[in-house]
Structure 1
Amino acid sequence: MIKTASLTQLNKHMVTMDKSILYIVVSTFILCVTGVPHFDTTSANVNIIAIDDSRIEYKVTNNNLVKVDLFYESLCPDCIADYPQFPPVVKKLHNYINLQTYPYGNAKMYEDNGKTIVKCQHGERECYGNKLHACAIDQLKDVQKYVDFNACMMAKRSDDDAADECGELYKVDANAIKTCAKGARGHELLVYYGRESEKINYNYVPYVLVDGQVKDDDKPLLDAVCESIHPPPKECDE
């Protein structure tokens, strides 16, 4: 019969262990003590985030998710028209996709006396709208939450009033998001999304990639994503 040590005792013995050995020991300990189901490591990675005397935090990352990337800007009419496709697709296919959104669009960056300046296609109002979107992503973290919130803001022109209305609708702290957008963090996030957007050679928005391939503008997002899931799940037929 195998005896299980306390988590405190286990941590003391783990201090000098190789990282790979630590992963195996901790994973086994989780299974034995908490009864967490075994993770199939052929399709997922288990990352140990933190360990202390009372808890073990871990994150499961699925390697087989369909990558969906949306490059857009807050005041572009086509982006405003296209964004409503995303919340229902995330809701239906959240187990099969990894969605990343980049609120920057056709903005341009340049350096001036050591500062990074961003000029947005539709002016400063759009830069601020992009910052609101970026701060919502940063603070809400959960993809369904920020896609719902940002879709709501897109429909209302992505300004402070939109943030307040959508915050009330989705039970989100709009004041925190507005404070972020007005401060250094908002600018930092906008520059980050600008750097990421510059890595992609696009000349129009919305620009959508599904597993690295440009989505056909005439094809609904749901259809494009379902075609990239092998085999297509039952959610694609509903």
Structure 2
Amino acid sequence: MKVLLLVVLTVWSNFGCGFSYSCSHSPSTWCSSLNSAIECGVLKQCLETNFTRSRQTEDPVHVALYYESLCPGCRNFLVGMLVPTWIMLQDIMDVSLVPFGNAVEKFDGKKYIFECQHGDEECLGNMIEACLMNMTEAAPEIIFCMESSPNVIKSAQACTSVYHPDLSFDSVMKCVKGDLGNQLMHQNAMKTKALNPPHQYVPWITINGVHTEDLQNKAMASLYTLVCSMYKGTKPEVCGGAQRHYRSYCRNE
């Protein structure tokens, strides 16, 4: 959680942003309304971002991560690379998270049963994260918080309360234990099984629906560079695109 906050503060400070500690909104919703932009001290940046988005004519680069909630390599990539890159490049980048990985799915006649590589705790983590993605737009921040914590499962409730205080964690667990969570995880299983080529390990990354070892290696090395290079539209400033200058002088004649 502290790491994400540091990343967000660093990114916005690069744009000369004044940050308000009274902000009660998750970073992904700062620009969702005039009130939230003002409360979080980013009105100027939101107006500039909306202007930039209005000029984007190409589809965003879509990055999908197929992962497991307790896989060390998955956690490192999600926390250290994927979410920070998404925060900086969300104008030109879409993200899909698919928690399932190397799990095995069986149907007992009534519901799906899942066996996970790192045990029942991982199945629970996968299910919590699948339900969060179905219930809130703040899911990336909550999942980042969970995956960067020493204990992914125990931090879930606290992370949810920080990034979506209006979302009852009881409702999340109702999803986890009910038919909805079971179906959401089945959908993740089907998405994972449909991968072409089939996944051989996790984290497994696709870019615009495509997986190659070259794309995987580039994403693991610097997803930021890869997304900027693959975006076909006008590069935003954070990718080293055309810079806008605000200085204006009235010379003494």
TM-score, normalised on structure 1?
0.67
Task: Work out whether 1:233 is the aligned partner of 2:236.
Answer: yes
1:97 positional shift: 1.5
Equivalence for 1:25: none
Equivalence for 1:204: 201
Equivalence for 2:108: 112
Task: Work out whether 1:102 is the aligned partner of 2:106.
Answer: no
Q: How does 1:76-87 map to 2 (within 5 A)?
A: 76-84=71-79, 85-87=81-83
Task: Work out whether 1:188 is the aligned partner of 2:183.
Answer: yes
1: distance between equivalents of 2:205 and 2:76?
A: 14
1: distance between equivalents of 2:170 and 2:110?
A: 30
Q: How does 1:65-214 map to 2 (within 5 A)?
A: 65-84=60-79, 85-113=81-109, 115-140=111-136, 142=137, 145-156=138-149, 157-159=151-153, 161-172=154-165, 173=167, 174-200=169-195, 201-211=198-208, 212-213=210-211, 214=215
1:218 positional shift: 4.4
2: distance between equivalents of 1:182 and 1:113?
A: 17
1: distance between equivalents of 2:220 and 2:130?
A: 27
**% identical equivalent positions:** 27
Relative contact order, CA 8 A, sep 6+: which one is greater? 2
Q: Give SS of 1:186's match.
A: helix
Q: RMSD value over aligned CA atoms?
A: 2.5
Whichever structure has more strand as a proportion of its residues is 1
Kindly indicate whether the alpha-carbon contact (under 8 Å) linking 2:111 and 2:182 is maintained by their aligned counterparts in 1. no
Q: Quick check: 127-136 or 162-171, which moved more? A: 162-171
1:90 positional shift: 1.7
* Gap regions ≥5 residues in structure 1: 1-39, 44-62
1: distance between equivalents of 2:83 and 2:140?
A: 6
Larger Rg: 1
1:151 positional shift: 0.9
Kindly indicate whether the alpha-carbon contact (under 8 Å) linking 1:72 and 1:102 is maintained by their aligned counterparts in 2. yes
2: distance between equivalents of 1:115 and 1:167?
A: 27
1: distance between equivalents of 2:132 and 2:107?
A: 26
1:114 positional shift: 5.2
| Number of residues of Structure 1 aligned to a counterpart in Structure 2 | 177
TM-score, normalised on structure 2?
0.64
Q: Quick check: 200-209 or 222-231, which moved more? A: 222-231
2: distance between equivalents of 1:178 and 1:155?
A: 21
2: distance between equivalents of 1:129 and 1:163?
A: 9
Distance 1:178-1:219 versus aligned 2 partners, 3 A rule:
same
Kindly indicate whether the alpha-carbon contact (under 8 Å) linking 1:163 and 1:178 is maintained by their aligned counterparts in 2. no
Deviations 1:87-110 (A, max 9, x none): 222222112122111011110112
* Gap regions ≥5 residues in structure 2: 1-53, 242-253
Residue type of the alignment partner of 1:221? L
Q: How does 1:56-67 map to 2 (within 5 A)?
A: 64-67=59-62
